[in-house]
């Protein structure tokens, strides 16, 4: 657990000792905020005519108003962040799906390329066989005589 910090601050001209688990800088920042609010209202003539209790209540109401407005804004930002996180998740999911499809298509292309290459080899082989079969073979005299002799017997 963090250590408790103790610091002196000046609020509305009076010295107060604040303690808390936040840093001394943070406690000073809180006191500065309150002083700025007090100074903001002190410049308003109607505020200075109010009783001390009314001034304090008005100040408390305005600080609470600032708090709720800031909280509303923070909640809105948090909702936006959650929405963007979901969109990012969906985009990443879509990206992964697309990558899987691309890999499958690349495998299919490789398979089809292999089939095309095999078919091209078959075409060349068949064309060669056809060419050899359609080209008349030269017969030598001895083979013609042998054929005739075989037929005569």
The domain of 14 spans: 1-44
Q: Is residue 56 part of a domain?
A: no
Q: Is residue 59 part of a domain?
A: no
Buried b (16+ CB within 10 A) or exposed e, 96-134: eeeeeeeeeeeeeeeeeeeeeeeeeeeeeeeeeeeeeee
Q: How many structural domains is the chain composed of?
A: 1
Percent of the chain residues topping a pLDDT of 90: 82
Q: pTM, whole model, 2 decimals?
A: 0.58
Each residue of 59-102: pLDDT tens digit?
999 999 999 999 999 999 999 999 999 999 999 999 999 999 99
Each residue of 94-153: pLDDT tens digit?
999 999 999 999 999 999 999 999 999 999 999 999 999 888 766 555 554 444 444 444
Q: Is residue 86 part of a domain?
A: no
């Amino acid at each position: 657990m963090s250590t408790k910090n103790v610091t002196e601050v000046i609020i509305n001209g009076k010295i107060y000792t604040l303690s808390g688990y936040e840093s001394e800088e943070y406690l000073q920042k809180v006191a500065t905020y309150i002083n700025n609010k007090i100074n903001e209202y002190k410049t308003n003539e109607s505020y200075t005519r109010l009783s001390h209790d009314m001034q304090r209540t008005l100040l408390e109401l305005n600080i609470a108003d600032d708090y709720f407005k800031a909280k509303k804004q923070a909640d809105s930002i948090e909702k936006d962040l959650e929405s963007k996180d979901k969109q990012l998740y969906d985009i990443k999911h879509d990206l992964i799906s697309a990558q899987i499809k691309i890999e499958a298509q690349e495998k299919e292309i490789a398979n089809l390329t292999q089939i095309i290459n095999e078919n091209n080899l078959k075409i060349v082989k068949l064309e060669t066989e056809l060419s050899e079969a359609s080209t008349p073979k030269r017969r030598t005299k001895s083979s013609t005589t042998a054929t005739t002799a075989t037929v005569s017997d």
